[in-house]
Amino acid sequence: MRYVPENPLIVQSDHTMLLETMGPNFAPVRDKLTRFAELVKSPEYVHTYRITPLSLWNAAASGVDIESVLETLHKWAKYDVPAHVPVWVRETMGRYGRLQLLPHGHGLVLEAHHELLMTEIRNTKAVRELIGDPIDERRSHIDMANRGLLKQVLTSVGHPVQDRVGYVDGEAVDFKMRDEMLSGGTWGLRDYQVMAVDGFYGDGIEGGSGVVVLPCGAGKTMVGIGAMAKLGMRTLILCTNITALRQWRDEILDKTTLTEDDVGEYSGATKQIRAVTLTTYQILTYRKSKTDDFKHFGLFDDARWGLIIYDEVHLLPAPVFRSVALLQARRRLGLTATLVREDGKQTDVFSLIGPKRFDMPWKDLENQGWIAAATCTEIRIGFTDEDRLRYATSDDREKFRVAATNARKGAEVEKLLAKHEKDRVLILGMYLDQLEWLARRWKLPLVTGRTPQRRRDELFQAFREGSEPAMVVSKVGNFSVDLPDASVAIQVSGTWGSRQEEAQRLGRILRPKKGENIAHFYTLVTRDSTEQVYAEKRQLFLTEQGYAYVIETRP
């Protein structure tokens, strides 16, 4: 029996893997695992990963081959790898590409690599109504309208489709990135951003749909602009909110030769459809009642879009997923810091937007100086006797709220504000009464969903300029808010076990800093409570990226 004591990996028969953290090989093995496995939990000494079909298919689509996955398992395993695991990996990962969608005359054809596979597909109940007449033993006609839904259904039954149909070109738009960018000036595309654009575009056939994963502060917007410039077509950009929409607009006008007449805003206030049009998920999913149609979905068909960009694609609402299923002839770019979705709809992102085309570890970008080096600290705080009694007599949901709004967190906020009085500080949370109290107590500006857009813009600008060096922000600050000088985040409460929220909140402070390129992320957690349990889950994604939380305990 194999036994290599210095190897940190234990591969188990249920497709999970244990990775020991206390050794020199931990970091390089972790970086290899993140390419084809998902982190499940991360206590101090042993992290647990799981290999899933989706993690293998995303790896295959992004260029990882089967042999490199198996080499990682065999090379770094402490004990023998269970014999059936390599077989399962080879078979599961090998499914990507066995089914292909190809152009055929004026329609499409689904082609299987073997006639027995096509026989299985034709006899799968969930797929039967989406497949047309057979052409031969390995090929069947597919209606153009079923292109997206077919991919979605086949992925759900374990048969991912490689879509090589290509795309309908949108109306041409004559613009380019400004000369200073092309000559490698201040705003020149970084090497990894060029790689991301090229990874998305691919060979121009299979490429042109998919997801680019980069941390907040690493310039996902620039990747989107780079893709727009490469294609030179009318573009529709979907954003999380008006603040993000206007940040996109400002970047496009600053970094390209497009003018204000070329860039339109489709929002509650105005309905401009131009060569580049920006809108929000909120506008697209607006309807007066649950029985009404989504009145703004016609935007998808109102122009000959050549590219649709989905910013923060991990937040894509369910109704927009349905619209994406009908937009498979358009090039689609998803941008996100993490593909984690707590609702489990990662497979829909994979099948409808496209597979992961480019990913880069956060620590690699940190080591190159493109994002700030971050220290993460979890401060565990005890209850007062009164709150402990309230906690003990509450139901599960109320228990979490009691712990999250622990009054003793206020004293820690005060200490941290004093410690970082010369820094730009964001105080982040989810409970409005808690945030309102903190804002009143230290006379800080507060931004929530109730804050009018104009007032939000004024407060964010005051923070950027330094006239308001600290700010309290609710969940509206989790996404797409550009506050480059923020270097300290104090998280006083979070959304249950949301890994994506933890990543996004750290991302608020990761933009590179002038001088000392360091950021500090604090999360305040009530000790021995459900909040502590959920905090451990929230931290999973960042742990996978190489961030270690220092634990400090208070009375």
What is the structure's pLDDT at 468?
Answer: 94
Neighbours of 385 (CB within 10 A): 8
Residue 360 CB coordination number (10 Å): 18
What was the pLDDT predicted at 269?
Answer: 81
**H helices present in 234-353, as ranges:** 242-255, 281-284, 318-324, 346-348
Distance CA 241, CA 168 (A): 29
Where do we find the tokens 């090929």? Answer: 139
Rounded to an integer, what is the distance from CA 514 to the centroid of its chain? Answer: 27
Comparing CA positions, the residue from 305, 299, 302, 339 lying closest to residue 320 is 299
8 Å CB contact between 365 and 540: no
pLDDT attached to residue 543: 81
Confidence of residue 324 (pLDDT cuts 50, 70, 90): confident
**Band of residue 187 on the pLDDT scale cut at 50, 70, 90:** low
Separation between Cα atoms, residue 62 and residue 211, nearest integer Å = 10
The CB-side HSE value for 480 (13 A sphere, CA atoms) comes to 24
Rounded Cα distance, 410 and 311, in Å: 35
Measured distance CA(30)–CA(546) in Å, rounded: 8
Segment 190-220, tens digit of pLDDT? 999 999 999 898 876 667 899 999 988 889 9
**What's the confidence (pLDDT) of residue 181?**
52
CATH 3.40.50.1820 is held by the domain 179-360: no
Q: Provide the 8-state DSSP code for 275.
A: S
Locate the domains of the chain by residue range. Answer: 9-94, 99-163, 179-360, 366-553
- Minimum mean pLDDT range among 47-56, 222-231, 255-264, 472-481: 472-481
Q: How far apart are CA 385 and CA 391, in angstroms?
A: 10
More confident call, 406 vs 290? 406
C-alpha closest to that of 532 among 361, 352, 391, 375: 391
Decide whether 179-360 matches 366-553 in CATH topology. Answer: yes
Average pLDDT estimate for 361-379? 89
Q: Hey, what CATH topology would domain 366-553 get? A: Rossmann fold (3.40.50)
Residue corresponding to tokens 């500080």: 425
- pLDDT of 112: 96
- Find the mean pLDDT for residues 274-295: 87
**Residue with tokens 């005359």, as numbered in its chain:** 105
Give the per-residue pLDDT at 142: 95
* 526 neighbors 532 (Cβ within 8 angstroms): yes
